Copies of this chain bind each other. A is one copy, B any other.
Amino acid sequence: MKNLTRRDAIKLASVGAVAAMQTVSSGAAGSSHDPVPVWEVFELALKGASTGNPFTEVRLSATFSLGHRSVEVDGFYDGEGIYKVRFMPDAVGAWSFRLSSSLANLDGQEGGFEALPPLAGAHGPVRVQNTHHFAYADGAPFFPFGTTCYAWMHQSETLQQQTLAALRNSPFNKLRMCVFPKSYEYNHNEPDFYPFERSATGVNDYTRFNPAFFRHIEQRIGDLRAAGIEADLILFHPYDRWGFAAMPPEADDRYLRYLLARLSAYRNIWWSMANEYDLMRAKSTQDFDRLFHIVEEKDAYRHLRSIHYSVTMYDYAKPWVTHASLQSSDFAAAPGYLTAWKKPVCYDEVMYEGNLNRRWGNLSGDEMTRRFWLGVVSGCYVTHGETYLDPEQPFDESASPPLFWSQGGPLRGSSPLQIAFLRKLVEESVKGDRQTVRTGLVPAPNPYYLNAAVYEEDGKQANTILYYFDFHQPIWYEFPLPEGSFRAEWIDPLAMTVTPQAGRFSGKAKMRLPGKPFQALRFRAVGGG
């Protein structure tokens, strides 16, 4: 197995910056463990038999209980005679657990731990909230402003650290990323780790996982969690030369269950069943339905679940899909999608800012920013990506710099700063105002005249209205305001300026406007958030 020597370099303790690791050297679960804050990971490491094939032959699960509740999670074999069980408590209190296993020395073991209040900045997993929007488990709104680094975990450690640094300094709070390595245009490197034991001639043993591969992924998901970034983890994809896109169904299922046992306890996980599922010729839609069901059954925390397509849309109305994950920039269709599916709609691939020799990879930065605005005022969420070649280099794939879209590395484009500006506009009206559950923007009732969206509030009058004029350049407009008195601000989304307007506006408010394209306008209720 290639690069196995690097395995030792991955420190187990770094599996997540705030993960609580419980290692039991005797293999007994015991009854006394260090406390773990809510939404962090409680982990048991247990010694057990390493004979035969522990990945397929050993059964291990644990039932965690608090008061009347109990939650069952699968354990997994982590190699070298170590079995692990991970659990993410969602409530403060004294949790107890009981193991069930085909290994006699583990079966029936009991123990417990104290779940403490959450750490500062930990809000729990993201859920669907208010039909079309998202919120953390603690009720704090979550507005996805995502980006894409499909294969960043399969690059050099130096590059991965550059990616993390770029992400920490970016507006992005969700990352689309693949479990498996990627083989595609501009993506030709061999990964450091393979998910399965693999012979020198490239034959995978789908019955034996490579724990180092998964520990590495866990480390990166933990890094993202520490940075406040949701990992929109892509479980299957078609860009493959190793065999992972065309495994037998039983290998798919086993891989998925193993991954779920290892990763579900990370609060920042979203499950994306596939990228461009419809390009995976070895799988049918029914195969993906079956894989969805495995996630439904085995993820005790019910993380968000979706799937991404190339041409043929998956039926997002299916009940096991929590939100739509579109490859589209048809924002005019958004109101129809929201109405039909009654779920959040993420435009997860709207092409990428860059200068590539591909239509999907050469949007101008202004156009990427425009797509974010169009998405936001459509009541949806948009995902960024970036593909910039160095104009000073020969246009040869081997001489290409890392493309953020796939390898990660530094961000080079102009849109991230503009997207940060938009994110701030969207978020600032809910800051410190939990009572009014303003979870997201909804499209204004009459999109005929101008693109607009209002903040949704449960049973209350909207107190923020955001207009985006796109390539329209009205010199005046009569705004149909809801009841109340409003302040107005002219916004330049590209120059990133906010210009407060004098006066108060109410009723049918006739207002002079800049008369130039790509401007926006925000009304905020006087006395409102």
Contact = CB atoms under 8 A, between A and B. Distances in A.
Interface of A: 354-359, 362-364, 366-367, 389, 391, 395, 448-450, 471-478, 510, 512, 515-517
Contact of A449 (B354, B358, B366, B448): B358
A108 to B, nearest CB: 60
Given A359-B449, A478-B357, A473 B510 contact: no
Nearest to A469: B362
A488 to B, nearest CB: 16
Tell me the number of copies of this protein. Answer: 2
A357 B473 contact: no
A380 B450 CA distance: 27
A473 B355 contact: yes
Contact of A364 (B362, B473, B476): B473
A412 to B, nearest CB: 12
A367 B474 contact: no
Given A357-B477, A357-B478, A477-B357, A472 B362 contact: yes
Contact of A471 (B367, B391, B475, B476): B367
A512 to B, nearest CB: 7
A475 B516 CA distance: 29
Contacts of A478: 357
Given A363-B471, A510-B395, A357 B476 contact: yes
A389 B355 contact: no
Contacts of A354: 473
Contacts of A391: 475, 515
Given A355-B515, A389-B475, 8 more contacts: A354-B473, A358-B474, A364-B471, A364-B473, A367-B471, A389-B476, A391-B515, A395-B510
B355 A474 contact: yes
Nearest to A389: B475
Nearest to A354: B473
A437 B450 CA distance: 44
Contacts of A475: 355-357, 362, 389, 391, 395
B517 A356 contact: no
Best-surrounded residue of A358, A389, A472, A516 (most CB of chain B within 10 A): A472
A484 B366 CA distance: 37
A478 B516 CA distance: 36
Nearest to A512: B395
Nearest to A359: B449
A473 B363 contact: yes
A522 B49 CA distance: 70
